[in-house]
A and B are shown apart, each in its own frame.
Chain A
Amino acid sequence: DAGVIQSPRHEVTEMGQEVTLRCKPISGHDYLFWYRQTMMRGLELLIYFNNNVPIDDSGMPEDRFSAKMPNASFSTLKIQPSEPRDSAVYFCASSSKYGLKNEQYFGPGTRLTVT
């Protein structure tokens, strides 16, 4: 199994530009999670999907952030317009169970730098 795949691995962009992060979950997993990690705030859940449907987006910072999952094998996280404070590592994770165990498998992350 290839694991969770994220692209790009690194993104450097200027303030005001649109940024799109991509994720391919593990085949057969029906939950997908987007996280953001910074030194100050640690690992924060932004949004998660079940069977391609957004379940909880309460962690999305503001309207500049949006996430979609058009099918079971692809999801995007978009930031428009981007700001320097969005600089962080963004992780996608997937899981095949929920409830007590919810064991998540993380991708390698996308390191975003907004200048």
Chain B
Amino acid sequence: TQLLEQSPQFLSIQEGENLTVYCNSSSVFSSLQWYRQEPGEGPVLLVTVVTGGEVKKLKRLTFQFGDARKDSSLHITAAQPGDTGLYLCAGIIQGAQKLVFGQGTRLTINP
């Protein structure tokens, strides 16, 4: 059973389109992170969100932490081929110490 459920698991869209990836749980998180992983490499941290309702922007990427700190979303505007990769959400469950990862969303942006 995954503590963090990501959806969709696979997404293939055309360059220039917008997309949203979701990360959901029944657990409350102290903080939540998004990583991007490219083939043959380790995950790279994109952002950390800590406060319920928090929104962070990283160029064309917008990250939101749910008000109840149980879910998060990643929105990409005008996707580019360079956005292709595996996107992982990861969170610290409130009261615990471990970082738990979702199973990832594999995103492909076609030119």
Contacts and interface: CB of A to CB of B under 8 A. Distances in A.
Contacts of B30: 99-100
A4 B43 CA distance: 12
Nearest to B51: A100
Interface in B21-65: 30-31, 33, 35, 40-45, 48, 50
Interface range for A: 20 to 34
Interface in B46-101: 48, 50, 88, 92, 97-101
A65 interface: no
Interface in A57-115: 91, 93, 98-109
A42 interface: yes
A45 interface: yes
A56 B97 contact: yes
Contacts, number: 53
Interface residues of B, number: 23
Contacts of B42: 4, 91, 93, 106-109
A49 to B, nearest CB: 13
Contact of B48 (A4, A42, A45, A101): A101
B39 to A, nearest CB: 11
A43 interface: yes
A106 to B, nearest CB: 3
A45 B99 contact: yes
A51 to B, nearest CB: 14
A56 B41 contact: no
Contact of B41 (A43, A100, A109): A109
Contact of A42 (B41, B97, B98, B101): B101
Contact of A102 (B31, B103, B104): B31
B51 to A, nearest CB: 10
Contacts of A107: 42
A93 to B, nearest CB: 7
B2 to A, nearest CB: 8
The 6 A-B pairs of least Cβ separation, nearest first, read: A106-B42, A42-B103, A43-B101, A100-B31, A106-B43, A91-B42
